[in-house]
Structure 1
């Protein structure tokens, strides 16, 4: 038996049931009240039964038949909408892929929201996360990465685009003896088990700017190559470390790690986007670097 109603009739029943008035339903469906009234009357005539009745304050209340149509139509329309979205997504033509890496830190809490923004505004550009070591210049040169988000001063040949200002902070567990301090000096770390991801002190980081000038060093220094692993060890009170506040912000904000300022003035840390110097203006990589700068422009870190 062929269907007695078409898609417009089902849309009308769903809209009136959920909104309660012909006026609101007509506005939702971009139709006139007169056209919607005729459509509803036609649906009731075809089915041979009333779908709505007048309720208090002139609201339209679905009859038993109206509720049956609404429930079936709601499920069907939702399935149709999902199918359309899937088909449209499959037709999205990707014309460029930009490989993004994070230097020094394995932190990706920023990526999901950024990926959604790029897909919404630049559907022809695909983003891929890649993992690199602490030498972004080599990965840019070989093409294993197209854009590297890196903290501080990085050696190599590339173009630099500033992103936001961060801070290196001492990270300790909530139970640690220094957790209640507003700031620490390098001498406060002489009895600590210190964790670092870099086997060689890097210019512009804590050994260069904070620990070295004080000529006093932690009791032991252990290299753990992954910053996520360092963060978990710090949370377990198995050591301390000086790391990027932004990179560890999920654990800091969750209260698993406590941040303490290094020195009264702190240790500012700038993050930059690095791209190949021969990258053409207007290329997908340059465009994504600009989008990243705008996306991270509102990063504001509270003082420890």
Structure 2
């Protein structure tokens, strides 16, 4: 889906009926689903500030890192692993910086819990430690940490590693965006986050002809809150929940137009739209042509 098409969907106010409750979606209203939504501010490079969570029991070190980073990032603090997990679920940071040596729950256990919880597995982690042996470094990385930094460290090196990880996550979102162009049911993916996307697509497909299927039921079937679903999909695909549903539905509609012999109206109802006119508008935004033209053009090419 190209930027022009996505922009068209983003700006399209849509009224969907889900579980007898009407929700109105627009770009602004979808973003308001998350309790962690913040006023957009820019860092010194003119980019939107990313959210960083620092998990560190040493007060002096915690404050030092915070003071060095808060000009360019939204910084939140936790003084141990237990509090860190609570904060990670609550604020959905882009990246976590965690010490390894902490009371109650050390950084290794903390990292394992973050990376094996579907609500937080997408969050990048940099581990900090005073232990410099290769064995300890490997142990940290084996838990799923994205990077590992030995104390003492230069703050500019930490900044560089943060920026590199955040950029790599941006590229990951682009990759998922491209994967969404593959026909539904054809994704072959392995990681925890990728499996989440696969499961989300499967649920939409299983309910694809249900006109009352919406965010409330979608989140319930996935076993996550509406806020958690919004955060997860936005981080992994850069789509809101409703955009994600539309992409899957419209791709299935395109398949049916070419292979089923159904009329445009029949396909509209088959993929869960109640209004053929609204369906045609969204289809044209997605593919650049009306459903009828799409069917006619591709049928002629196959002859």
Interval of TM-score (by shorter of Structure 1 and Structure 2): under 0.3
TM-score normalised by length of structure 1:
0.22
TM-score by length of 2: 0.22
Task: Answer with 1 or 2: which has the greater Rg.
Answer: 1
Query: 1 or 2, which has the higher strand percentage?
Result: 1
